[in-house]
Amino acid sequence: MSWAILCESSDLAVQCLAAGQQVELDAAPSVEGQLQEAALRSVHAGRATALVYLTAPPLADLVELSYAARGKPLPVALALPAPSEDRRALLAVAAELGLCAVSELRPLLAALGLLGAASQDAFTASARALGPSDRARLRLALSGTAKGRGQFVAIDAERIGYVADADARPVVLGEARDLAEALFALRSMEPAQTQVVSSVDDVDSRAVLDVIFGPRRALSDPTSKAALAPYGIPVPVEELCGSASRAAAEASRIGYPVRISLASPDLRVWDHPDLSIDMVDNAARVRDTFRQLLAAAQGRLSDDPKLSALSESRVLGVMVTATSDSLAQLSVRATPLPRDRVAMEVGFADPHGRAARDHTVTVLPAELPVIERALRRLEGADLLFATSPAQRKTRIESVADVLLRVSAFVNDRRREIEAVELRPLALLLDGSAEVREACVTVSDWFERNN
């Protein structure tokens, strides 16, 4: 198989050429200033294509590559040699999109050798012909049952090859550690399938449009929830209140204790946690808390030069919300991608999770196992998974249901919406989930089309 190896810089092309000579790869890498455009041309021309990135590509590029390669027999592979904060998540997303993705040049060349030998399932091949140390290095990358065709053989003291048939010439792959990453990448690739579609039935589109219509802006929490409500996104029992007496009355109706939080598109509770008070347990405290939050908000608006010009009407009042304990609190950000896909960034919203930047990303819509694997990439995933299988299933289904509903909203309104943020999406003790604060950012689409 003849490969088109496209590199984002001349330095990477030189490294790729030198490494390719060691594995006897007959391919001359080229340098492309517009790597994505060159790759799409190559894929559409029916060439097996490999990309070597200098900088982490945007998710939109991976989606377009996946779409271009769908239904074609020739593979697409990529390497991200330059470390980046999101490299692990990007490699996983690429695999979920059906691309072969590795982190370095030499594993890429090993993967190209296997794909060129039509051995996408080489992780089922036999390693009995290798020495003990090489078998140990490959043990976790292989399936454990040598039921596939072919076997791995030693080329010399360092290099390993693959033999598809007994009489075939070995394909040189490289060292065991590089082969191991290539095998992991092949095992992780999702099979080609028709695109998964998420949708919500009986959505009142007119009701959504009435809420979001207007100039580019970030909607307040109650307005954002009103826009999301037709999609069945779960929220706690709550009420927006414009006076202290109304807040006390609603708290009595909802039942104590309650959470009292400011409602304003300019002062988000996730940025100003002191503007939310939990476990308020009587009417007098509700009234005092109402006055305290409004005074703090107006003082903060006047102190901030960026906000001082805004009208006081931007403080809508307070939200009186039923209090419920949570197992974990997640932050979610959804943005539209090409081809009816949605980028979904998920992380932990608690202070430790934010400080550790514990987050990952995936592309929706997707099947439940893909969403579960994305959540498992979080360092704090044990908060979601360390329980019985039945409870774990309930938790994952609850979170996945919210993510897919948000994905449907963003996809349906991709022209008018820039992003949707949920912070937090709380996972409750019974395994259900609720959105405690939301922010829908409207694009300038209405301004440009009116």
pLDDT at 311: 47
Q: What is the mean pLDDT of residues 426-435?
A: 94
Is the pLDDT at 231 greater than 50? The verdict is: yes
pLDDT at 226: 96
pLDDT digits (tens, 9 = 90+) for 264-290: 988 889 888 899 999 999 999 999 999
pLDDT digits (tens, 9 = 90+) for 307-348: 555 444 478 899 999 998 999 999 999 999 999 999 999 999
Of the candidate ranges 28-37, 111-120, 200-209, 359-368, the one whose mean pLDDT is the lowest: 111-120
DSSP string across 126-183: B-TTS-HHHHHHHTTTS-SS--SS-EEEESSSS-EEEESSTTSPPEEEE-HHHHHHHH
pLDDT at 122: 83
Domain 237-322 maps to which CATH number in 3.40.50.300, 3.40.50.720, 3.30.1490.20, 3.40.50.740?
3.30.1490.20
201, two tokens: 């039935």
The reply to whether domains 237-322 and 326-448 share a CATH topology is no
> If you average pLDDT over every residue of the chain, what do you get?
90
How far from the centroid of its chain's Cα atoms is residue 291's Cα? Answer: 40
- Superfamily of the domain at 326-448: ATP-grasp fold, B domain (3.30.470.20)
In 338-448, beta strands by DSSP E: 341-348, 359-364, 417-428, 433-435, 438-442
Q: What percent of the chain has pLDDT over 90?
A: 69
Note the helical H segments in 276-317.
Answer: 283-303
- Contact at 8 Å (CB) between 220 and 319? no
State the pLDDT confidence band at 374, using cuts at 50, 70 and 90.
very high
Is the pLDDT at 303 greater than 80? The verdict is: no
Domain 3-188 maps to which CATH number in 3.30.1490, 3.40.50, 1.10.3470, 3.40.1800?
3.40.50
Domain boundaries, the chain: 3-188, 237-322, 326-448
